[in-house]
Structures are given as structure tokens and as C-alpha cells.
């Protein structure tokens, strides 16, 4: 992972990833320019020769951000996405419109909160027949070093997450119930931070599968290098 910034405020980001020796390596390259205050143009290309341009306009009105994302792959398939967001002290709202065909797909969400409590809703609509594909309601409580969130999807599926942070240890727990399969899934994770440059993570699920990760920053401020299993 390589990041650099030129004197004329152009960002360069090159990333290569190989999850394990059995998986195919992937790579992406990004260049971001800022022609004016609050305006940026990001051009990205991946190893599949998919070209993506993202034009972002932010803070022209306080708390707002707008993106126009265009992409084309080596087969000539094109895609257009429009994104808008509003972020205020007690309200966050987002709207994304995707044009995979002549019938766009719209996803909108809003979160309101006061002090430690918050509530939100998310709605996905297919404009071909204006069919509601997915709706999610959520409630949450956030305090210093503690978070509790609950989600109800399509009036059927339930997810509950708990997160707690201490000086050197972070821990999390998630329980989910799928009404279609009648299955309950559980997972728990813990991260130990011996200092600000190293961490050790462990995760276990209801099947007894254990995942371990170790990360270290060789140079302060850079992204961590990790070993995973």
C-alpha cells in the first residue's frame, strides 16, 4: 500500500492485495486532483481495467456533499451513480441513485439523535414498478467507550451488536436471527493494543471458527502491515 501527495496537491494511491497464496492478487491505482476548494476529481483503475471517475463537491452548503460517479469496464459496460449527503449535529441523511439500466435504483437513509440515543431508517426502491426491496429500522445507544445497536430488516430479520472499549482492549459481540432459515448466528471479537503501533485481534463464531490477526506500523502514521489466519 503506497500513498503520496505532490506539491500541487495531487494524491497518488497504489494498492496491491494478495489474501493468501491460493488467491489471485489484485491491484488498484488512484489519482486525486483538487481544481478548487470543495471540489475533487478522483480517477481509479483496477487490475480488471475498470476505469472509475468520481467528482465530489462538498461543503458548498454547510454539511452537504455530492458525488457523481461514472465507470466503464473493458467490456464497455457503463454505470452512473449519484450520491448526496447531509450531516448536521443531530441529523444525518443520505441518498444514492444507481443507474444499472434505464430504471434507476434508489437507496435513502436518515439517522436522528440526541445526546446518547439515536434512531434511523433505510429504504431501497427499484423504480421499475416502484417496488420496495429492503427497509431497515434501527435504534442505538452510544456513550464513552460503549455502543449498543439493534436492527430490524423487512420486519423479519434481527441484528444486535454490542461494542465496548477500554484502555488497551476493545471487544465486540453480534447476534443475528434470520427468519427465513430460522438460524441464529453469533460472533465475538476482541482486540488487544499493546501500544498505538501494534494490535492483536481474535474472532470466534457459533461454529467455533477462530480468526486471528496481528498488525504493526513500521512507520508511525502509515497503514498497518498485518498477518492473518
pLDDT at 225 over 60: no
The pLDDT value given to residue 137: 97
Which whole number is the average pLDDT over 173-196? 92
- Minimum mean pLDDT range among 14-18, 55-59, 82-86, 184-188: 14-18
pLDDT at 192 over 80: yes
The ranges assigned to domains in the chain are 1-85, 89-141, 144-221
pTM: 0.70
pLDDT band at 184 (very low <50, low <70, confident <90, very high): very high
The pLDDT value given to residue 129: 76
The pLDDT value given to residue 185: 95
Which residues 6+ apart lie within 8 Å of 192 measured at CB? 168, 169, 199, 200, 201
pLDDT tens per residue across span 106-131: 999 999 998 899 999 999 998 877 78
Query: Are 123 and 137 contacting, i.e. CB atoms less than 8 angstroms apart?
Result: no
pLDDT at 102 over 90: no
Which whole number is the average pLDDT over 6-11? 85
Which residues 6+ apart lie within 8 Å of 216 measured at CB? 197, 198, 224, 225, 226
Amino acid at each position: 500500500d503506497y500513498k503520496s501527495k505532490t506539491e500541487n496537491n495531487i494524491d497518488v494511491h497504489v494498492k496491491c492485495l494478495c489474501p493468501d497464496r491460493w488467491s489471485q492478487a489484485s491491484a488498484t491505482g488512484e489519482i486525486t486532483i483538487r481544481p478548487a476548494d470543495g471540489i475533487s476529481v478522483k480517477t481509479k483503475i483496477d487490475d480488471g481495467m475498470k476505469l472509475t471517475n468520481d467528482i465530489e463537491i462538498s461543503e458548498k452548503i454547510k454539511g452537504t456533499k455530492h458525488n457523481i460517479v461514472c465507470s466503464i469496464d473493458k467490456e464497455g459496460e457503463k454505470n452512473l451513480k449519484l450520491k448526496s449527503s447531509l450531516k448536521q449535529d443531530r441529523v444525518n441523511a443520505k441518498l444514492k441513485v444507481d443507474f444499472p439500466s434505464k430504471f434507476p435504483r434508489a437507496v435513502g437513509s436518515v439517522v436522528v439523535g440526541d445526546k446518547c440515543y439515536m434512531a434511523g431508517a433505510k429504504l431501497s426502491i427499484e423504480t421499475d414498478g416502484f417496488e420496495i426491496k429492503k427497509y431497515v429500522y434501527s435504534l442505538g445507544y452510544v456513550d464513552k467507550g460503549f455502543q449498543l445497536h439493534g436492527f430490524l430488516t423487512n420486519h423479519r430479520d434481527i441484528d444486535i451488536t454490542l461494542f465496548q472499549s477500554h484502555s488497551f482492549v476493545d471487544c465486540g459481540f453480534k447476534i443475528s436471527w434470520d427468519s427465513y432459515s430460522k438460524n441464529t448466528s453469533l460472533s465475538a471479537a476482541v482486540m488487544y493494543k499493546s501500544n498505538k503501533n501494534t494490535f492483536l485481534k481474535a474472532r470466534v463464531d457459533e461454529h467455533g471458527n477462530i480468526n486471528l490477526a496481528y498488525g504493526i506500523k513500521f512507520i508511525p502514521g502509515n497503514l498497518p502491515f498485518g498477518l492473518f489466519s
